[in-house]
Chains A and B, each alone.
Chain A
């Protein structure tokens, strides 16, 4: 499967725990984006990364959220001390980074906070 791979597909955490969401971009893609979708809403941009660099994190909450895209391995979105309001679908997308190239999305991780 050459598409964007996200895991886990479903993640359940209790309030106060940590959530780690992983994303492997499409082969040949070096740009990764994270988006969050709340129920009945559109997707909201969170962060844009290239290998070992955060390019734009203007959509990330100031506290508890962090993201990385290491030289080796998948991109990780980490949410510390989760709260009920973090329950959402988190989507990762990747692109080649050139003009006129769309972002391609994974099937998301559905995070539920008990």
Chain B
């Protein structure tokens, strides 16, 4: 039972353009959502999070949007840079903070020069 789904295994974007990564979830009890970035042979690095009481959170080039009615969130990266090439995971938990995370399968983002 995949409660968090990232339906695009890969995405290719030109440098300087916007990258949009999508994530869907099925568990209506999820109320805290996070995006992580992962390079090969390293652990996931936290990027940005959003609570269910918000619909948007922004941090520099990264913005996360949450649509609770559609059970959908997205990560926007603008402008995309070569160093953004990595695997991106979305994750969710049922209560904010100290609860287990449920991860999607990941989307491999490639930024082309």
Contact = CB atoms under 8 A, between A and B. Distances in A.
A105 B44 contact: yes
B98 A100 contact: no
Nearest to B93: A103
Interface string B43-59: 11110010100000000
A71 to B, nearest CB: 19
Interface residues of A, number: 32
Contacts of B99: 48
A101 B103 contact: no
B109 interface: no
A108 B41 CA distance: 8
B98 A31 contact: yes
B102 A100 contact: no
A82 interface: no
B63 interface: no
B17 to A, nearest CB: 26
Contact of A100 (B41, B49, B89): B49
Contact of A42 (B41, B100, B106): B106
Could you say which interface size class chain B belongs to?
20 to 34
A100 B100 contact: no
A104 B106 contact: no
> Which of A56, A103, A104 counts the most B-chain CB atoms under 10 A from its CB?
A103
Nearest to A37: B103
B38 to A, nearest CB: 9
Interface in B37-88: 41-46, 49, 51
A-B residue pairs, 3 tightest by C-beta? A105-B43, A42-B103, A97-B98
Interface of A: 4, 6, 31, 33, 35, 40-45, 48, 56, 58-59, 91, 93, 95-108, 110
19 contacts: A31-B98, A42-B89, A42-B105, A43-B103, A45-B100, A59-B100, A91-B44, A95-B97, A96-B97, A97-B98, A99-B96, A100-B49, A100-B51, A100-B97, A102-B49, A103-B34, A104-B46, A106-B43, A107-B41
